[in-house]
Amino acid sequence: MTSFSSLGVPEILVRALTAQGKTEAFPIQAATLADTLGGRDVLGRGRTGSGKTLAFSLPLVARLAGLVPGTHLPKRVPSRPRGLVLAPTRELATQIAATLEPLAKAAGLHVTTIFGGVSQRPQESALKGGIDIVVACPGRLEDLMKQKVISLADVQITVLDEADHMADLGFLPGVKRIMAATPAGGQRMLFSATLDNGVDKLVTAFLRNPLRHSVDTAQSPVSAMTHHVLTVADATVKRDVVQHLASGTGRRVLFMRTKHAAKKLAKQLTSAGVPAVDLHGNLSQGARERNLDAFSNGGVRVLVATDIAARGIHVDDVELVVHVDPPAEHKAYLHRSGRTARAGSGGDVVTLVLPEQMGDVRDLTRQAGIKVTPQPVRLGSPALEQLVGTLAAPVAPTAAAPAAAPARSGGGRSASAGSSQPSRRRRGGSGAGGGAARTDVASAPGTGGGRRRGGASAGAGAARRDGAPAAARSQGSGARRSAAPALAWTSESTPSTPSRRQGPRRAGRSTGAPAAGGERRG
């Protein structure tokens, strides 16, 4: 392992990292810090969760604070930041800011976030008060630039994070205009999992002789992630299997293709005694924050989401990801699956497949580099019981569980019967294996360990400025599915039948907004 001090990180920032329990650099950090601290343009490629945020946060703070030889700390000027980080989603922007703030505070810098879906007045006030680093989504930032609320003329360092996702959401034209508004001689860093969909053109246009660092391949294996393809006979069996998978003891994320389907499933699970919250583009900013707080803090252990959560939500100890609706393409599969097996923990990824979806899922897993044998399941199947964990009560088909006094949960350890791999123990304790289909680990992709625990509570999504219905309030959840009362909801859910061919870009889309995960544009 490599220490931050040995990479040239200033001592004041090393102490701030140590206070957070971060003493050793991840590979992407070790590979890039010497160059980025030296002011070089860098192109970094790594999986989600590989530690990219800290890789650019450290040089950003160190250089702007004058902590690196040859740099100085100029006077702070209102509405003219010197550092800019562009991110595709509100969640990711808030998570980046949460990583930056302890470092910036130690160095005497000020950080703020700018994104749509919320009032711009607090953002204007922060800028007028003097801000060193702005973490922004492209849409709202362009709005403020057009209103002359912010100028990028003093930006010395620009970072593009998750550039490939910005391309997926259609943000590249705005990103180009923003980059063009920053001084040509400034340092620029671009971090992306892939270089397709026009990201390579950004590199050519705006980075000067960038040093390229790639710490993994697009399909690097993560030995602690196990993939399962479980086939179900019909929609009724699928409903019961989903409810049973959700009733385990640790954190789990269930992915749907549409906003309405995510909202509906969260409500159904909660009514059945499995407290769940939803995350999608129809939620207001406040509802997003409450739901993410409830999930990351352990108030509820089930998050039902559209692809809005496939990037930018970094919560450790998610033991299970369930593709309730299989994604339409392999990139979405990899990013969804990356919510588990983080920070050195293990995790399981389940894809539920109806008979008519088998061909599409076979193609998807092949493109993702996943080697797994589909296995039919129904309630009581050994493979299903292994995934849920031994502390979960069996779920009777279509029966609602009686309410009981809530008990706090959210990640206690429990042993899983029949597991043959004790090294893959996870909080929440559902072991993989048993009769479950297992991946060929040598070819299974996944994610590296993210350092940050607890997940930030910000929203990401479409540009809803109206007060969309608030989601469930967080409550405690027990080890058994009947251990908590239903959560309160403020509106009725709308049934939705997702299209089998509908791609991840449409997940969570609201009228007049970009694909789920983006914020308001223009």
Domains of the chain in start order, with CATH, are: 2-214 (3.40.50.300), 225-506 (3.40.50.300)
Give the residue ranges of DSSP H helices in 108-198. Answer: 121-129, 138-146, 163-168, 172-180
Q: Quick one: how many helices (H) and strands (E) in the chain?
A: 15, 16
Q: Is 459 in contact with 516 (CB distance < 8 Å)? A: no
In three-state secondary structure terms, 321 is strand
The Cα 4–Cα 24 span in angstroms is: 6
pLDDT value of residue 193: 74
Which pLDDT value is given to residue 413?
33
The phi and psi torsions of 167 (rounded to 5 degrees) equal: -65, -45
**Which token pair is 428?**
């929440």
Classify residue 465 as exposed, middle or buried by CB count within 10 Å of its CB (0-12, 13-18, 19+): middle
**Closest to 285 in 3D by CA, of 469, 500, 50:** 469
Q: What is the pLDDT of residue 496?
A: 36
Amino acid letter at 309? Answer: A
Amino acid symbol at 122? P
Whether 167 and 119 have beta carbons less than 8 Å apart is answered as no
At residue 236, the pLDDT reads 93
Please give the pLDDT value at position 423: 35
- The reported pLDDT for the residue numbered 338 is 72
Secondary structure, 3-state, 454-480: CCCCCCCCCCCCCCCCCCCCCCCCCCC
| Rounded Cα distance, 514 and 461, in Å | 8
Residues of the chain with pLDDT under 50: 217-223, 343-344, 390-522
Annotate 421-458 with b (16+ C-beta within 10 A) or e (fewer): eeebbbbbbbbbbbebbbbeeeebbbbbbbbbeebbbb
In whole angstroms, give the CA distance from residue 123 to residue 126.
Answer: 5
pLDDT tens digits, one per residue of 361-397: 988 888 888 888 899 999 888 888 877 763 344 444 4
